Structure 1
Amino acid sequence: MSGDELLALTGVGKTYGSVRALRDVSLALHAGEISCVLGDNGAGKSTLIKIIAGLHRHDEGSYTIAGEEVRLDSPRQALDRGIATVYQDLAVVPLMPVWRNFFLGSERGALRLDTAGMRSTTRAALLRMGIDLHDVDQPIGTLSGGQRQCVAIARAVHFGARVLILDEPTAALGVKQSGVVLRYVTAARDAGLGVVLITHNPHHAHLVGDHFTLLKRGRMAGSHPRAEITLEQLTTEMAGGSDLAELSHELARPDTRSDTRPHIRSDTRSDTRPAPGAGPRPDAGTAPGTDPKEGPPQ
């Protein structure tokens, strides 16, 4: 069951010069809910993320956090209100240990770093999310892409995020690593967070999503609770819906299964003996005008 409304966008629009990147987009997110935003490249997903995360201000509509209308001017303001964003290209220092990246920008200790405390806290925070790393001293660059995503999710939960925005977390991952990440996405939801999952993969979205918003060319192309849409319907809408059906009709190939070429009968009998009455004629092999009994003329 979803809880209190954490944030809501109503009729939001954004213009860059003469380009309308978003127009009349609405989205609501509740505690303990995963809201999936789907769309192709150029659909407006990135612009929507930037508005929620405080990178860009919206031009139209309203944006409320916990019932209060806001216009965020920076990601720091979003973080202060409990909104954490995990981007597809993670901001990590590959050669630094996992625990250093976990506390990057939020280090403990004024004159001297509390390294022991940060190590133990990192290990405990990861274990609470079900992430059992062998060694938090290993460079984070040695982890797989899925493991790095999971560390980023655990970090956001540890530092008090109430809203978690995930930008294409499975885009560069294989099936197995995608499954690992999606399990931790549901763990964040079960911990009471509201999750906005940005993706172009309807199969991943339908595995975990509670609500689905589809964007197309900066506009809403659909908004469905999970109970009202199947994976097949979601995939069709994501692929283009009626536009895809029209394209399929235009590009349909003729039916090649019916062969209209003339049929040539062939004798497929395996017995090579001549049929009765089909033997060679008595005069076969003789020259015209000769008697086969007498042979050729002398």
Structure 2
Amino acid sequence: MPDAVTTADASSPLLRMQGISKRFPGVRALHEAHLELRAGEVLALLGENGAGKSTLIKMLAGVHQPDEGSIEVHGSPLSISGPMVARQAGIAVIHQEFNLIPALSARENLFLGQERTRLGWLAAGHERREASRLFQRLGMQIDPDRAVRDLTVAQQQVIEIARALSFNARIIVMDEPTAALSPREVEGLFKSIRELRSQGYGIIYVSHRLDEIFEVCDRATFLRDGQYIATKNVSELTREKMIELMVGRSLDQEFPKRKSQRGATRLAVRGLTRKPTVRDVSFELRRGEVLGLTGLIGAGRTEVARLLFGADRADAGSVTLDGKAVDLRSPRQAIASGVCLLTEDRKSQGLVLNRSILENFSLPNLKRFAPWGWIQQRAERKAFQEFVGQMRIKISGPAQLAKQLSGGNQQKIVLAKWLQRNADVIIFDEPTRGIDVGAKFEIYQLINNLAEAGKAILMISSELPEVLGMADRILVMHGGRITGEIPRAAEATQEQIMELAVR
């Protein structure tokens, strides 16, 4: 049975959502869900993809309205009929994909829609001073007149938070705020969050990175299949209990064991260089091996993957596959050679979101399904359905649009299209970014199955527990170079990796 909703302290909570239900055609997104946010706390909102988190957040943003239930802000009932109502009520939602205009300056983005004027003229000086004050309050030095496109992801995030403060929001929702941040930038964000908490703001924090919940959150509310499960003090939770509340079952182990035996060298890289991002990178990857490649953001990991996939041209270096030299000058050549890449950003680079999942699956396999210029639909659908069954991909049908799938199922579709190619070397770049713990476990099992089948796996990840739990060996990069190798990942520590990552 779900736990009772935690009652507020002496004062009314900033936000209370009671008995929230919402249906879409053919889907029950929420059923009698509850959430309560207090002043001066960081509340984690946790659940698998499809648990109802996004729907609940969109209700706070005024995008959706509940079919049933009530919302109270500062103790008073409120019907959030649109984004402007949410804003006037002091609610701000900071999405994973920022709502900023790259060509405008930090100041212009900050005050967009609430420009300061004096006698009909834009009060740029006043805005500049106010922007600097807000940035300093959040512990970040940002030039107010610098274009957003020239700022780091962390600086752009601060602009989003500052914009919330500029219109006096007291309730701030952060959706996957650390997805693209380096560890140092994450700590800077946490410092800003703690400062806001000390000033009485209420923050709803959504993340699949469970270590962050213990670091910055006070309580956690769990949703599963659209229903409220429990609200717990984070101090009372363990990682295992947190996963159990999210997925409805205990996972005996977060990272499944693998029985594969490493074989002969399949991929050999020598002196791979593309200045200034990749410098003299050399390594070998064997059959049946999962080789972890990690380092801080900007270390050159993704750039190495792009060179191996032919998406970028190398200045120098050589690549051999099964002892034969290959010249990977384009993704087409890489695919033909048996190398495939699951990109870091599956939405913009791995999928055509507005096309069906069947079309996405078939795109790199048209030579097989259309050898004479027209698609053999029976063979296409048969191959697709086999992968759907084997990989337990949750879909409504092959015509479903790729953008309608959860992150975990999108990742499976990307993987399925490459497995259909029977690729020998598979590069995973951040394979579980934005994916819930249940789907992560399934992706890990798929990676292990591929290794056991003799595939060579290069896994790029910034999540150190993932690297330690999945890799056989670990390579660490910094400044475009490999700064060290850990030959036995099972015996390594996060501290060892970080020492190599900052060299």
- Residue 114 to residue 231, structure 1, CA distance change in 2 (3 Å): same
User: CA offsets per residue over residues 41-61 of structure 1, 9 Å max, x none?
Assistant: 222111010111211111122
1:119 paired residue number: 128
Q: Please tell me whether the aligned partners of residues 55 and 74 of structure 1 are also in contact (alpha carbons under 8 angstroms).
A: yes
2:178 paired with 1:170: yes
2:398 paired residue number: none
Could you tell me which amino acid in structure 1 is paired with residue 215 of structure 2? L
SS at match of 2:160: helix
User: CA offsets per residue over residues 26-85 of structure 1, 9 Å max, x none?
Assistant: 111111011110122222111010111211111122211112222211010011111111
2:103 paired with 1:95: yes
1:278 paired residue number: none
Q: CA deviation at 1:193?
A: 0.6
SS at match of 2:121: coil
Which stretch of the first structure deviates more once superposed, 177-186 or 142-151? 177-186
Counterparts of 1:1-298 in structure 2 under 5 Å?
4-109=12-117, 111-133=120-142, 135-238=143-246, 240=247, 242=249, 244-245=251-252
Could you tell me which amino acid in structure 2 is paired with residue 120 of structure 1? R
User: CA offsets per residue over residues 75-107 of structure 1, 9 Å max, x none?
Assistant: 100111111111111111112111111111110
2:313 paired residue number: none
Q: CA deviation at 1:188?
A: 1.5
SS at match of 1:42: coil
Equivalents in 2 of 1:137, 1:102: separation in Å? Answer: 11
User: CA offsets per residue over residues 206-228 of structure 1, 9 Å max, x none?
Assistant: 21111101222212233212232
Equivalents in 1 of 2:93, 2:123: separation in Å? Answer: 26
Scaled by the length of structure 1, the TM-score of the pair is: 0.77
Q: Please tell me whether the aligned partners of residues 164 and 193 of structure 1 are also in contact (alpha carbons under 8 angstroms).
A: yes
1:276 paired residue number: none
**Which of the two has greater helix per residue?**
2
SS at match of 1:8: strand
Q: Please tell me whether the aligned partners of residues 10 and 27 of structure 1 are also in contact (alpha carbons under 8 angstroms).
A: yes
Q: CA deviation at 1:18?
A: 2.6
SS at match of 1:5: coil
2:448 paired residue number: none
Could you tell me which amino acid in structure 1 is paired with residue 84 of structure 2? R
Equivalents in 2 of 1:35, 1:181: separation in Å? Answer: 16
Q: Please tell me whether the aligned partners of residues 38 and 201 of structure 1 are also in contact (alpha carbons under 8 angstroms).
A: no
SS at match of 1:242: coil
- Residue 5 to residue 165, structure 1, CA distance change in 2 (3 Å): same
2:408 paired residue number: none
Equivalents in 2 of 1:241, 1:175: separation in Å? Answer: 30
Equivalents in 1 of 2:89, 2:61: separation in Å? Answer: 10
Equivalents in 1 of 2:200, 2:254: separation in Å? Answer: 43
2:450 paired residue number: none
Name the Cα RMSD after superposition: 2.5
SS at match of 1:160: coil
Equivalents in 1 of 2:163, 2:194: separation in Å? Answer: 15
Could you tell me which amino acid in structure 2 is paired with residue 9 of structure 1? M
The size of the alignment, in residue pairs, is 251
Q: What is the identity percentage for the equivalent residue pairs of Structure 1 and Structure 2?
A: 34
- Residue 136 to residue 247, structure 1, CA distance change in 2 (3 Å): closer
Gaps of 5+ in 2: 1-7, 260-503
Whichever of the two has the greater Rg, that structure is: 1
